Structures are given as C-alpha cells and as structure tokens.
C-alpha cells in the first residue's frame, strides 16, 4: 500500500514537472537557441580574424608539393639525358675502334670482295658515329633547356617556401592569440547544445550552414527580420513576443526572437 502511494506521488511529481516545463519550454528553447547563436557568432568572429590565411597556407603547401614533384621529374629527366649522352659517346669510341680495325684488316685482304665488305662495315660505323653525334647534340640542347627550367622551378620553390613560412607565422600568431578563447567558446557551445532538443538543434545547424552570415536566430529590428530584413506582419510579431511557439521568418527561414530576449541574453 505504501509502495503504491509512493508510486502515485512520484507520478504526480513528474506530471507537475512536465507541466511546469511545458509552460516555459518554448521560451526556454528560444533563450537556449539565441544564446547558442551568440556563442557561435563569437566563434565565427574569431575565425574571420584569421581570414583566408588557413586556405592560403593550404594552397601554398599544395603548390610547393607540385613544385617539388616538378623539380624531381626534371632532375630524373636530366640524369636520363646525361646517361644517354655518356652512352652515345662510348658508342662513338666503339665505332672509331672498329673503323680502325677494319682499315688495318683492309691491308691484308686477299680479294676485292673482302675489301668491299670491310669498306661497307667502315661506312656503317661512320654513319653510326654521325647518328650518335646528332643524338648528342639533341640531348645536349634538351639538357640545356631542362637546366633553365630547373633553375626557374627551384627559384619559384624557394619563393613559395619563403611565402609559406611568412603565412604560417602569421597564422600561428593569430591562433595563439585566439585559440584559448575559441576552445572555451566551443566548449560553451557544446554545453549549450545539450539544452536544445535534437530536432531544433538539427534545424538550427541547417539554417546556420545555409545562411551567408551564419545567423540562424535573429531578433526583430524595426518590424523586420534581422537576417533578411523583410517586414514581419504585426500578428507574427505579437506571436513572437508571446513566446507561445517558435516562429521562423517566412522569407529566409531564420528563427525569430523578440527584443526582450535579445536584450537580456545578448553576449
């Protein structure tokens, strides 16, 4: 019997709590949403201070990787050409040795057929020398071009590396100045999110993502939405002041709060 009475009492207490929450829930939700917006706007301002520096740093890092790859490719091609030139020079020496041998053999031939055969071999080796010399000239010209490209690429790489150091220094300086405040605000934002039901939180984040200025919750200013500045009908303004339900701007979809909440809970 005592257990049943205790259960009924607990049930009645929970019902009273639910009713009490229901009475103030809409206003509490609006306050929680507006407070969250204020916190997130402060985080946005900190990140705006950093500006485009993180993107500039990333772009420079990507460009440097590309330049380093280009330098490596040019270097490999130069090594390949140098090796090819060395091979052609050795081929010329080999051909010259063979020509000398054929000329010596011609002194001891027994008939014209052997002499003509050695002559043709000498001519072939002479052509091989000419072809090798032509290839050496081509490779040397290409090598000269690559050396110039290498010089330009290395200079550009050096310049971009210097730019990266400057940008990183600037970014690190700003991060050091704002990191502590940003971390505290992010933690505060997460704590405040716990006060908001999932459905509203998802809607808030979606609106914030789509809004150019990151504002999902705005107050009425001069009878207009503080986000898109379209006029709010008088009846809607009254409903917003009554805190009976959450009302969004029919033009931009932002959640609207009245001057009273904005004044009491502005950061």
Q: What is the pLDDT along the chain (267 residues), one digit of tens a residue?
A: 444 555 555 555 444 444 444 444 688 888 989 999 899 999 898 888 888 888 899 999 999 999 999 999 999 999 999 999 999 999 999 999 999 999 999 888 888 998 999 999 999 999 999 999 999 999 999 999 999 999 999 999 999 999 999 999 988 888 888 888 888 988 889 988 888 888 889 999 999 998 888 999 999 899 898 989 999 899 888 888 888 888 889 889 899 998 888 887 765
**Cα angle, residue 68 at apex, residues 67 and 70 outer, rounded to 5°:** 60
Q: Which of 262, 180, 150, 183 is nearest to 217 (CA)?
A: 262
Q: Give the pTM.
A: 0.56
Max CA-CA distance within the chain?
A: 137
Q: Which of 229, 73, 39 is nearest to 150 (CA)?
A: 73
Q: Name the residue ranges covered by the structural domains of the chain.
A: 18-50+197-267, 53-180
Give the integer Cα–Cα distance in Å for 193 and 29. 11
Name, in order, each residue with C-beta under 8 angstroms of 175's C-beta and a sequence gap of 6 or more: 50
CATH 3.30.70.260 at 53-180, yes or no: no
CB 217 within 8 A of CB 37: yes
For residue 2, what pLDDT is reported? 47
């Amino acid at each position: 019997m005592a257990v049943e009475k205790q259960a009924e009492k607990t049930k009645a207490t929970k019902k009273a709590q639910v009713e009490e929450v229901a009475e103030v829930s809409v206003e509490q939700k609006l306050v929680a949403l507006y407070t969250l917006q204020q916190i997130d706007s402060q985080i946005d301002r900190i990140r705006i201070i950093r500006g485009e520096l993180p993107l500039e740093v990333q772009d420079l890092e990507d460009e440097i990787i590309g330049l380093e790859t280009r330098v490596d490719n040019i270097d490999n091609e130069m090594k390949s050409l140098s090796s090819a030139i060395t091979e052609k020079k050795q081929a010329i020496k080999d051909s010259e040795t063979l020509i000398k041998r054929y000329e010596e053999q011609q002194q001891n031939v027994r008939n014209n057929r052997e002499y003509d055969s050695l002559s043709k071999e000498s001519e072939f080796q002479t052509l091989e020398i000419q072809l090798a010399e032509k290839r050496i000239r081509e490779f040397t010209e290409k090598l000269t071009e690559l050396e110039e490209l290498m010089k330009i690429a290395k200079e550009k790489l050096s310049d971009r590396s210097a730019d990266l150091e400057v940008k990183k220094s600037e970014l690190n300086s700003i991060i050091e100045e704002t990191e502590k405040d940003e971390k505290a605000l992010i933690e505060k934002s997460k704590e405040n999110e716990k006060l908001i039901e999932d459905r509203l939180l998802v809607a808030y984040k979606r609106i914030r993502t789509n809004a150019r200025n990151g504002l999902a919750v705005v107050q009425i200013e001069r009878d207009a939405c503080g986000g898109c500045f379209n006029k709010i009908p008088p009846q809607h303004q009254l409903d917003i002041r009554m805190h009976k339900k959450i009302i969004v701007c029919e033009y931009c979809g932002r959640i609207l709060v009245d001057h009273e909440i904005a004044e009491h809970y502005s950061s």
